Amino acid sequence: MPDPAIEFREVSFARPGRPRVLDAFSLTVEAGEVLALVGRSGAGKSTLLKLINRLIEPDGGAVIVEGRDTRAWDPIQLRRRVGYVLQEVGLFPHMTIGDNVAVVPQLERWPPERVTARVDELLDLVGLPPQQFVTRWPDELSGGQRQRVGVARALAADPPVLLMDEPFGALDPLTRVELHREFRRVQERLRKTVIIVTHDMGEAFALGDRVGVLEMGRLIANDRPAVVAASRDPHVRQMLDALPAVPR
């Protein structure tokens, strides 16, 4: 059996002078699956992601990525193998769309023709025709378009792992639904290991092969969407009840 792509082993973490966010937290993510983590604000979702690409390090336990403790990874190498998409996107405003997508390939010193081809391929993949978008600037794009660029940029150097921190949180409902569809289409082709965090149970059900519910630094549910939907746990029920009454 292959190694899991990502594994949390008894991880604890606290910001200095603040209560623990995670305490003896364990979680396994298999290669090629999409794990949707749901939780309220402050439940520790973003902390989990930052532990994976070593933006922070655990106080106790270990985070294993591709069979190796993150602390054994060169953080720069690790981050280039882990795509990261933020809610605020964080496109570089002084670079064109093309240059934004090309950042990691260029850091990796790919030859220019290969970079250009890759940028075109990725913009196509996220539904932004390259001939129209390569030379545009981030502030000329709509929120949905910017988020597509953010995804393309995260995928540029073909990382096996993709982390998405509330990627669609700032978008209007129609655009969100459209991007959910796009995401599933892309994932169908790429089969990346994806962890997507959201505070929206509906989004988790729409995107996840598996849904984890995070409450106070603990996983209170972690299963296929159908199983989680039938959960008896009062916290999980509470979150399910917050979903719109009309099913999608």
Partner 1 sequence: MQSSASLGAFIAFVSGHRAELGVLLMQHVVLVAIATACAVAIGVPLGVFAAKRPRLAAPAMAIAGVVQTIPSLAMFGFLLPVPLVGGVGARAALVVLILYGLLPIIRTTIAGLRGIDPAVREAGVAMGMTAKQLLRQVELPLALPSIVAGIRVAAVVGVGSATIAAAIGAGGLGEYIYRGLSMVDTTVILAGAVPAALLALAVDGALWWLERQLSARRRVRSRRAALAVAAAIAGVVLLSGVVSARRAGRGAVVVGSKNFTEQLVLGELLAQQMERNGIAVERRLNLGGTLICDRALLTGDIDVYVEYTGTALTAVFHQPIATDSSQVFSAVRDLYARTGRTLLPPLGFNNTFAILVRGTDARALSMRTIDDAARESPRWRAGFGYEFVERPDGYTGLARAYGLKFPGPPRVMDLTLTYRALAAGQVDLIAGDATAGLIKGLDLVQLDDTRHYFPPYDAAAVARADVVLRRPEVPAALEQLSGRISAADMRAMNYAADVEHRDIAVIVRDFLATR
Binding site for partner 1 (CB under 8 A): 53, 55, 75-80, 82, 84, 86, 88-96, 99, 103-104, 107, 137, 139, 153-154
Nearer to partner 1, 83 or 212 (CB): 83
Nearer to partner 1, 54 or 176 (CB): 54
Smallest gap from Cβ 93 to partner 1, in A, equals: 5
Contact between 200 and 230 (Cβ < 8 Å):
no
Smallest gap from Cβ 17 to partner 1, in A, equals: 17
Place of tokens 């439940």: 43
Nearer to partner 1, 79 or 210 (CB): 79
Smallest gap from Cβ 90 to partner 1, in A, equals: 3
Provide DSSP, the chain. -PPPSEEEEEEEEE-TTS-EEEEEEEEEE-TT-EEEEEE-TTSSHHHHHHHHTTSS--SEEEEEETTEEGGGS-HHHHHHTEEEEETT----TTS-HHHHHTHHHHHTT--HHHHHHHHHHHHHHTT--HHHHTT--GGGS-HHHHHHHHHHHHHTT--SEEEEESTTTTS-HHHHHHHHHHHHHHHHHH--EEEEEES-HHHHHHH-SEEEEEETTEEEEEE-HHHHHT---HHHHHHHHTS-SS--
Q: Encoding tokens for residue 157?
A: 């150097």
Nearer to partner 1, 22 or 89 (CB): 89
Nearer to partner 1, 98 or 217 (CB): 98
Smallest gap from Cβ 137 to partner 1, in A, equals: 6
CA-closest candidate to residue 195, choices 50, 3, 55: 50
Smallest gap from Cβ 242 to partner 1, in A, equals: 27
Smallest gap from Cβ 39 to partner 1, in A, equals: 20
Nearer to partner 1, 95 or 117 (CB): 95
Smallest gap from Cβ 75 to partner 1, in A, equals: 8
Nearer to partner 1, 138 or 202 (CB): 138
Q: Encoding tokens for residue 222?
A: 């972690």
